[in-house]
Amino acid sequence: MTTERVPFIAGNWKMNLDHQQAIALVQKLAWTLRDANHDYSKTEVAVFPPFTDLRTVQTLIDAEKFELTLGAQDLSQHDSGAYTGDVSGAFLRKLEVKYVIIGHSERRMYHAENDELIQAKVAAAFRHDLVPVICVGETLEELEEQGQSFIPVQQIKAALANHSQVGEFIVAYEPVWAIGTGQVATPEQAAEVAVAIRTAIAQTLTPEIAEKTRILYGGSVKAANVAGFLKSPEVDGVLVGGASLQVEEFSGIARFLKHLAL
């Protein structure tokens, strides 16, 4: 992390927690962070619940004036129309959703999302004033065959190509082999790929945009290993899956500054 880019701690709940369970978790999380005097201006904390929880979590955040920010896990590349089951970015924006995860490896894998579709979803996010959290990462096979930066760089270049309008975005480097496996990348690996991604952003867009874009690491992040990643000036936060469902663990991750002598 650097002082210019505010670290971003994101909890991707995936397909877990219904809207009632969401209330319990968000309340407990906000209270735990409040008790610990969490400074949200120094470390942003966002939750990414399933679609069916969004209205409930938005209402709760609003009523209690919690400083947590809200994200969604996906969006349609279309704005409206005959697309059964899809969710428009316009609807998300109406719910005060700020962030949207795009191109998570589980969507690439189970819903055959390719670079072209992901690029179109990123365009939809920009159109609706949402901040896309663009996920990139290589499988174990790709790591062995092409090295660790090749696929993430290719994926981010494709996601950012040919936009008529570019807003703020975040990139999450999530090696597929590290997601939900307990097998973590080393902080050095994460930093090396983050540098390659930042260079790719500078080439595809501009060096100024690259400099201000937050690049996260994701894959088996826990309170015990988060500080290692964020020690590097290249890594600006983490995207957390499993550990974001446990309040103690996730608030421990959000409070990573405690473990860094800054």
Who's near 219: CB < 8 A, 6+ residues apart? 137, 174, 175, 177, 178, 179, 181, 183, 184, 185
Q: Assess whether 174 carries a catalytic annotation.
A: yes
**Amino acid of residue 47:** V
Q: Which is nearer to ligand PGA, 77 or 220 (CB)?
A: 220
Name the CA radius of gyration of the chain, rounded. 17
Q: What's the closest the beta carbon of residue 238 comes to ligand PGA, in angstroms? A: 8
Q: CA separation (Å) from 248 to 8, 11, 32, 67?
A: 18, 13, 8, 18
User: Which spans of this chain sit near ligand PGA (rule: CB under 6 A)?
Assistant: 12, 174, 179-180, 218-221, 239-243
Residue 101 φ then ψ, to 5°: -75, 135
Task: State the nearest-atom distance from the C-beta of 104 to ligand PGA, in Å.
Answer: 6
Which residue's CB atom is positioned nearest to ligand PGA? 241
**Which of 174, 192, 234, 249 is the catalytic position?**
174
Tell me whether residue 109 or residue 262 sits nearer to ligand PGA (CB atom). Answer: 109
Closer by beta carbon to ligand PGA, 107 or else 255:
107
CB of 138 to ligand PGA, least distance (A): 14
**What is the nearest approach in angstroms of ligand PGA to the Cβ of residue 58?**
21
The one catalytic residue in 104, 113, 128, 234 is 104
Least distance in Å: CB of 180 to ligand PGA?
A: 4
Provide the token pair at 33: 């962070």
- Mind telling me the catalytic residues? 104, 174
